[in-house]
Chains A and B, each alone.
Chain A
Amino acid sequence: MKASPLVFAPLIAFAVIAAAFAVSLTRDPSTIPSALIDRPAPTFDLAGIGGADGLSTDDLRGGVTLLNVFGSWCVSCRVEHPFLLELAADPSVRLYGLNWKDPPEAAQNWLDRLGDPYAKIGADEDGRVAIDFGVTGAPETFVIDRDGRIRFRYVGPLSPETWVQEIRPIIAAIENDGDPYAR
């Protein structure tokens, strides 16, 4: 009895579908990929909180920046806050804050009570700058290179594990870009 090559079709179809599912299992469908990776950060100029200096696009140049989107209303931001204070103690890290849809008094109260890890904060009270950044929720953290381009976005609270496994390698890669105009 001669076997038609068609008898292998179901096996091949199964292998293709199984491979597609295996790849999909490693992805988190609830994390929306940022459309702004490798694009210049949007232009903005925000006031600060409690009379402090604000934050603008120009502040993002000249060094690798972490821009952390936070709000006093955001429970997960509270979770990552102690780690942000740890990061702030590291002089090689430049951490800026984007205070998202927060009344300035609430933000000030949050910083007074829990400590202020940010070198600079921009108050985005109406949420327009966050939309320009494609923010989908708080906390989110953007890694921005010294030319002001967005290189990475992390969705969710930062922790020592995510820092070591995801953020720090990306910062190291960006710093090794070999940009002739830097340093």
Chain B
Amino acid sequence: MRGRPFAIVFLVLVASVAAAQVANPDEALDDPALEARARALDAAFRCVVCQSQSIADSDAPLAKDMRVLIREQIAGGASDAEVRAFLLTRYGDYVLLKPRLTGGTAALWLGPALFGALGIAGAVVFLRRAGRNFAEASAGGAGPDSDDPDDGPPDGRDP
């Protein structure tokens, strides 16, 4: 019971943070479904002034202009794809926070998978070799690759 006032204070604080994230009321559309679409788009575009923020997070006047523009287009019946195309033709791929897969961004998208595959391949090769060397050493005899000096203990010196 002693914890309850504390919990209430905590909830009030959390709620106030959530309220602070609500977009500027003079920008918001009246239709909640359209406003939800506009919010999703806001979060997908980079603010070209501050660059590390989406236009949803930015206080820059240009970001506000873009939020208003997105809402105007959505209210006018534009699809999400049309809004994206509108900003892409003006600002290029830079305006997307999640870059598209193109020749220039292929390394970005495929690089992690490539390096992951290389690492797994390297680990498999290493473990196989280590396992073979261990089997040879414990058998005390020459394996099929005994002519390769890199590939196991030198013959005759093993007990």
Which residues does A use to contact B, with CB under 8 Å?
Answer: 1, 30, 32-36, 101, 126-128, 131-137
Contacts and interface: CB of A to CB of B under 8 A. Distances in A.
Given A35-B91, A128-B65, 4 more contacts: A1-B149, A1-B150, A131-B65, A137-B48
Given A131-B65, A136-B62, A35 B90 contact: yes
A101 B62 CA distance: 10
A132 B62 CA distance: 12
B150 to A, nearest CB: 7
Contact of B62 (A33, A34, A36, A127): A127
A133 B69 CA distance: 14
Contacts of B91: 32, 35, 134, 136
* Chain B contact surface mostly: helix
Contacts of A137: 48-49, 62
A135 B60 CA distance: 13
A30 B51 contact: yes
Given A30-B51, A136-B49, A127 B92 contact: no
Contacts of B94: 32-33, 35
Contact of B92 (A35, A126, A133): A35
Q: Interface range on chain B: under 10, 10 to 19, 20 to 34, or 35 or more?
A: 10 to 19
B90 A132 contact: yes
13 contacts: A32-B91, A32-B94, A35-B89, A35-B90, A35-B91, A35-B93, A101-B65, A127-B62, A131-B62, A131-B66, A132-B90, A136-B62, A137-B48
Contacts of A126: 65
Interface of B: 48-49, 51, 61-62, 65-66, 69, 88-94, 149-150
A181 B95 CA distance: 37
Contacts, number: 45
Nearest to B51: A30
Contacts of A32: 48, 51, 91-92, 94
Contacts of A30: 51
Nearest to A42: B90
Given A136-B49, A136-B62, A131 B90 contact: yes
Nearest to B68: A126
A126 B66 CA distance: 11
A89 to B, nearest CB: 32
A101 B61 contact: yes
Nearest to A3: B150
A139 to B, nearest CB: 14
A86 B96 CA distance: 39
B149 A127 contact: no
Contacts of A33: 92, 94
Contacts of A1: 149-150
Contacts of A36: 90
Contacts of B62: 127, 131, 135-137
